[in-house]
Amino acid sequence: MKFNPHTNHLFTDDGRLIKRLHCPFRLDWSKLGPRDDPSARNCHICQHTVTDTAQRTEDELLALMSANPKACLKVDLSQDNLTLTYQR
Amino acid sequence: MKTNAANPNDLRVIKTARTEEAINQAAKEGFRPLVKPVKPSKKIHSKFCIWQNQTTGEIEVLSDYRINPLDGDWKQMIDWTEYYPHNFPMPFAAYLIPADISAGERVYVKDLIEDFIGMSWNQGDTFRLESCEAVWDGSDLKIDYKPAKNQISMVG
């Protein structure tokens, strides 16, 4: 998975767009409410579920976004399944 | 100007114009352009290095130390180099202040002119904050920037 922090676009390694992340709240993941699923948390502002991309595969995230285009994601710049790129 | 429900407290949105034409058009529409210099901050920087395939001439641009150097016919042509990663059309811009704004009104600035650090990476790169709340004090916008410590994750 690749992330461009200049554009906030999250891609698969082969270049398919997963989502452009945009949240004006600058939310802190550690302060979001827990869920039964440890790979997701609750946003207390929008009431959306926020999914941790570190714990999902690219295919799972593509399926998630296809089913719910407004789903929110969390990206950590240092997570193991992610590299940063500035080219897209 | 419409209120943007996407901003945190549903504040009035202040737009930014980045060319002379856009600024003057806004003035004709009744906005008061608050002109500011566009000054790249040395605190905002990204990095890259360039590898080139010695057979095909194609290049690969790397930005992440975790990506291993390329094997085989690839040669590093430019070592890791820091740069300012943004390119604005002009060295000035203006916040478009609505005519009916009152001193003390809190607003949402969608496209900041000033450079503030929005996110930092443990590889040294720092990323520019795009939007922020601000308060109009009657003559200027006071950007309400609250630096986040060790901000390395993003939700959206």
Specify whether B104 is located in the same domain as B150: yes
Residue B6 covered by a domain: no
ipTM for the predicted complex comes to 0.80
Q: What SS3 class is residue B25?
A: helix
Same domain, B68 and B118: no
Number of domains, chain A: 1
For residue B43, give the amino acid letter: K
| Chain B interface disruption, residue of A78, A86, A87, A88, most B CBs within 10 A | A86
Question: Cα distance from A6 to chain B (closest Cα, Å)?
Answer: 7
Indicate whether B36 and B66 sit together in one domain: no
Q: What is the CA radius of gyration of chain A?
A: 12
Q: B119–A5: do the CB atoms touch at under 8 Å?
A: yes
Q: Domain range spanning residue B55?
A: 46-82
- Any domain includes B23: yes
Same domain assignment for residues B37 and B97: yes
* Number of domains forming the structure of chain B: 2
Q: Residue B7 domain-assigned? A: no
Q: Which residues of A touch B3 (CB under 8 A)?
A: none
Condensed to tens digits (0 to 9), the pLDDT of residues A38-61 reads 899 998 888 889 999 999 999 999
Q: Are residues B71 and B119 in the same domain?
A: no
Check whether residue B54 and residue B117 sit in a common domain: no
Confirm or reject contact between A6 and chain B (CB < 8 A): yes
Domain-located, residue B5: no
- Chain centroid offset of residue B153 CA: 17
In a shared domain, residues B33 and B108: yes
Measured between CB atoms, which of B46, B148, B155 is closest to A72? B155
pTM: 0.80
What is the C-alpha separation between B128 and B134, in angstroms, rounded? 17
In angstroms, rounded to a whole number, what is the distance separating the alpha carbons of residues A12 and A59? 9
Residue A62's identity, in one-letter code, is L
Listed in sequence order, the DSSP H helices in chain A are 58-67
Record: contact B63-A19, CB cut-off 8 A: no
* Residue span of the structural domain in which A8 resides: 2-84
Tens place of pLDDT per residue across chain B (156 aa) = 333 435 667 899 999 999 999 999 999 999 999 999 999 999 999 999 999 999 999 999 999 998 876 778 999 999 999 999 999 999 999 999 999 999 999 999 999 999 999 888 989 999 999 889 999 999 999 999 988 665 777 888
pLDDT digits (tens, 9 = 90+) for B94-132: 999 999 999 999 999 999 999 999 888 989 999 999 889
Neighbour tally for A65: CB within 10 Å: 17
Q: Other C-beta atoms within 10 Å of B114: how many? A: 17
Report how far apart the first and last C-alpha atoms of chain B are (Å, whole number).
25
Q: Do B48 and A72 touch (CB under 8 A)?
A: no
Chain A 26-45, CB below 8 Å of chain B: which residues?
A: 26-29, 32, 43, 45
> Do B37 and B57 belong to one domain?
no
Indicate yes or no: CB of B154 within 8 angstroms of CB of A8: yes
